[in-house]
Chains A and B, each alone.
Chain A
C-alpha cells in the first residue's frame, strides 16, 4: 500500500488487516463471524459473564484464555457492587472499539500516536427502568465521548481519525442503530 509509513508504529499490524480484508472480499462466507458470551447468575443483581469461544473464518475459534466480567449494581441501589453495571460495560465496549479504531486508522494513515485517552459519559433517567414514567426510555438519553489524543498530526487530521474510527466501529453502529434481539427460554 502506498501511504503506509513504516516509521510509524502504533502496534497495529495493518498489513495483516489489509491482507485479511482482501482475502475476505474474495470469500465473503469466511467473513461471517459469531460473537458469544455466557452468563451465570450469582446472587442478587450480581452475575458473571465469560467470553472465550467465537466463530469465524469458517470454524470455531478461541481466545487465548477465558475472560470474566462481573456485573452488579452499586450500593445506592441496595446491591453489593461486585462489578460494573451492565450499562457501564456498554460504555466500556464503545470506548474499546473506538480506541482500537483510532490506533488502526492512525497506523494506516501513517500517523504516530503518542497518547490516546477517552472519557465517556451517558445520561440516563432511571425513572424509565424503575417504571415510574412510561414516557422515559430505559436506555441512555445519549452518550458523550471525549478523546484526548497526542499524535504527530494536525488537529484536523486527528479529528478525521476519530471520525473514521466511528464510521468503521461495530459498537458505534450497535448503539446508534436498532438491532433485532431474539430471546428464547430453555
Chain B
C-alpha cells in the first residue's frame, strides 16, 4: 500500500494534521493502534478532567460549542469531542492498526503494521508525548512487599489496599491523585521535588485566560532561552473542577497529607527524602508571584482594573522545617507507592537514526532531522502551547505547509524553507 503521507496517531495532534493536509490536498492516512483518543480512553484515571477550560478546547476549524465555556472536559467528554472532530473532517482513519516498525526506503518510509505494510514519502509522528509512565531507577530498590503503580495503571482508590500510600511527584497528577487517595481514607505522604504552582483563577479569571492574554502560549521555541528546560517542565499544579478551585500543597497539608522532599532513594526499608523541600517550595512560590506580578501589570496597562477582582497574593507554601528525611515504610504502614513522575514517548518502533543521546527525536520546531519526517504534540515543539489541545492548530498548519512543499519539491530535496 502506498500513500504520500502517513500520520501515526489519531489523537488531537494527528487529527489536526489530517485536517491541514486535506486542506493542502496531500493524500494521507492516519494509522491508530486503537480508537480515536485511545490514550485518553484507556490509559487515564477515572476522575481526570482537562486542566484547560472548554473555551480553549479547539482544533482547526472546530471548537467547543457547549453552554459551559469555563468548565473543564472529563476524559469521556474529550474523547467524544475528538471523535466528532474525526467525523467532521472525514479523517482517513485506519483504526486498530499498530505500527511495529518504521524504516527508510529510497523515496521515503516503510511503515510496518500488524495489518499490512505501507510505503509513504513523508511521515508525521503524532503518537503522543505520554506513552509510557516514567519510573525512576530507585524503584528497583523498593522492598518487595510494597505495591507499585503508575498513573497509567491507576483508575481510582478502590484498586488499592487499605494501607498508606506514598505518592511521588508534585505535578498536577501527583497532587490530584494524592488528594483523591487521601480522601478515600488512605493516609498519603507526598514526595515533592521541583514543581510549578499556579492558582486556578486569579482576579476572577482562569489562569489560562491570563496566560493566553499575556501571549505566553505563543512564545516560540526559537525565542526561548533554555529550550531543554522549557521542554521538561512538569505540569502546573492545577485541577479542573466545577468549583474552579485551586490545588496546592498548603491545601493538601490542611487535609492531613504529609509532605516530604524529593524521594532520593531507599535503604534498609526506609525511604530517604531530600532536604531541599523548603527551597523547591520557595522557588515555586516566587515563580508564581512573578507571573501574578506580570498579570497585575498587564491589567493596569490594559485598564482592566474596573472589570476584575483586586490583586492579591497567596500564602507562602508552609513547610515543616523538622520534617523527617527518613521514613520506615513498614512502621508507617506504607503499602503502595504511586509514581507520578511523568511520562515519556515510546519510539521503539522508529528504526531511523533521529535520536539524540537522551533518546529524544532531533528536530527543529517539529521538522525532524530526516527528510520528510515531522513530529507533533511534543512539549514546546514550536510554541509553549504545542502540548496543549489548542496548540495543535498552529503547529499542524505550519508543518503541513512545510510537508506539502517538501512533497511538491520532489522527495529527497531538503531545500525547503522552515
Query: Residues of A at under 8 Å CB distance from B?
Result: 1-3, 25, 28, 142, 156, 159-160, 163-164, 166-167, 172-173, 175-178
0/1 string, B236-275, CB within 8 A of A gives 1 = 0000000000000000000000000110110100001011
0/1 string, B311-324, CB within 8 A of A gives 1 = 00000000001100
Instruction: Specify which of A1, A2, A3, A156 lies most central, judged by the most chain B CB atoms within 10 Å of its CB.
Output: A156
Interface residue B225 (Cβ < 8 Å from any Cβ of A): yes
Name the CB-closest residue of A to B276: A176
Using A163-B283, A167-B279 as known contacts, say yes or no to A156 and B289 having CB atoms under 8 A apart.
yes
Interface of B is mostly: mixed
Complex CA distance for A160 and B262, rounded to whole angstroms: 20
In contact, B282 and A28 (Cβ under 8 angstroms): no
Complex CA distance for A1 and B279, rounded to whole angstroms: 27
Using A175-B275, A178-B272 as known contacts, say yes or no to A167 and B321 having CB atoms under 8 A apart.
no
Q: Which residues of B (274-322) have their CB < 8 Å from a CB of A? A: 274-276, 279-280, 282-283, 286-287, 289-290, 321-322
Complex CA distance for A160 and B288, rounded to whole angstroms: 11
Name the CB-closest residue of B to A25: B228
In contact, B275 and A176 (Cβ under 8 angstroms): yes
In contact, B261 and A176 (Cβ under 8 angstroms): yes
Residues of B within 8 A of A164 (CB): 283
In contact, A178 and B225 (Cβ under 8 angstroms): no
Q: A160-B290, A172-B276, A177-B262 are in contact. List 18 more A-B contacts (CB 8 A).
A: A2-B225, A3-B225, A142-B322, A156-B286, A156-B289, A159-B282, A159-B286, A160-B286, A163-B282, A163-B286, A166-B279, A167-B280, A172-B279, A175-B275, A176-B274, A176-B275, A176-B276, A177-B264
Residues of A within 8 A of B275 (CB): 142, 175-177
- State the Cβ distance, A70 to closest chain B Cβ, in Å: 29
Residues of B within 8 A of A28 (CB): 357
Complex CA distance for A112 and B321, rounded to whole angstroms: 31
Name the CB-closest residue of A to B228: A25
5 A-B pairs with CB atoms under 8 Å apart are A3-B225, A159-B282, A163-B286, A177-B274, A178-B272
Complex CA distance for A100 and B158, rounded to whole angstroms: 50
Residues of B within 8 A of A3 (CB): 225
In contact, B279 and A163 (Cβ under 8 angstroms): yes
Complex CA distance for A25 and B276, rounded to whole angstroms: 26
Complex CA distance for A159 and B285, rounded to whole angstroms: 11
Name the CB-closest residue of B to A166: B279
Complex CA distance for A150 and B192, rounded to whole angstroms: 31
* Count, chain B residues at interface, CB 8 A: 23
Complex CA distance for A167 and B284, rounded to whole angstroms: 12
Complex CA distance for A142 and B194, rounded to whole angstroms: 21
Complex CA distance for A156 and B282, rounded to whole angstroms: 10
Q: Top 8 closest A-B pairs, CB basis? A: A176-B275, A166-B279, A160-B286, A176-B276, A177-B264, A163-B283, A163-B282, A176-B274
> Which of A1, A25, A142, A167 touches B283 (beta carbons < 8 Å)?
A167
In contact, A142 and B225 (Cβ under 8 angstroms): no
Using A2-B225, A28-B357 as known contacts, say yes or no to A178 and B279 having CB atoms under 8 A apart.
no
Complex CA distance for A3 and B226, rounded to whole angstroms: 12
Instruction: Specify which of A156, A164, A172, A177 lies most central, judged by the most chain B CB atoms within 10 Å of its CB.
Output: A177
Residues of A within 8 A of B279 (CB): 163, 166-167, 172
Complex CA distance for A164 and B226, rounded to whole angstroms: 15
Residues of A within 8 A of B194 (CB): 167
Name the CB-closest residue of B to A143: B275
Residues of B within 8 A of A166 (CB): 276, 279
Residues of B within 8 A of A172 (CB): 276, 279
Residues of B within 8 A of A156 (CB): 286, 289-290
- State the Cβ distance, A164 to closest chain B Cβ, in Å: 7
In contact, B267 and A178 (Cβ under 8 angstroms): yes
Complex CA distance for A183 and B324, rounded to whole angstroms: 27
- State the Cβ distance, A32 to closest chain B Cβ, in Å: 13
Using A142-B321, A164-B283, A167-B283 as known contacts, say yes or no to A1 and B272 having CB atoms under 8 A apart.
no
In contact, A1 and B225 (Cβ under 8 angstroms): yes
Name the CB-closest residue of A to B284: A163
Complex CA distance for A156 and B228, rounded to whole angstroms: 26
- State the Cβ distance, B399 to closest chain A Cβ, in Å: 25
Complex CA distance for A3 and B225, rounded to whole angstroms: 9
Complex CA distance for A178 and B268, rounded to whole angstroms: 13
- State the Cβ distance, B273 to closest chain A Cβ, in Å: 9
- State the Cβ distance, A179 to closest chain B Cβ, in Å: 10
Instruction: Specify which of A3, A159, A167, A178 lies most central, judged by the most chain B CB atoms within 10 Å of its CB.
Output: A178
Name the CB-closest residue of A to B282: A163
Residues of B within 8 A of A167 (CB): 194, 279-280, 283
- State the Cβ distance, A140 to closest chain B Cβ, in Å: 10
Complex CA distance for A159 and B267, rounded to whole angstroms: 34
- State the Cβ distance, B331 to closest chain A Cβ, in Å: 14
Residues of B within 8 A of A25 (CB): 228
Complex CA distance for A167 and B279, rounded to whole angstroms: 8
Name the CB-closest residue of A to B358: A28
Complex CA distance for A2 and B224, rounded to whole angstroms: 10
Complex CA distance for A175 and B272, rounded to whole angstroms: 13
Complex CA distance for A4 and B182, rounded to whole angstroms: 46
> Which of A163, A176, A178 touches B265 (beta carbons < 8 Å)?
A178
Complex CA distance for A178 and B265, rounded to whole angstroms: 8
Complex CA distance for A163 and B264, rounded to whole angstroms: 20
- State the Cβ distance, A1 to closest chain B Cβ, in Å: 7
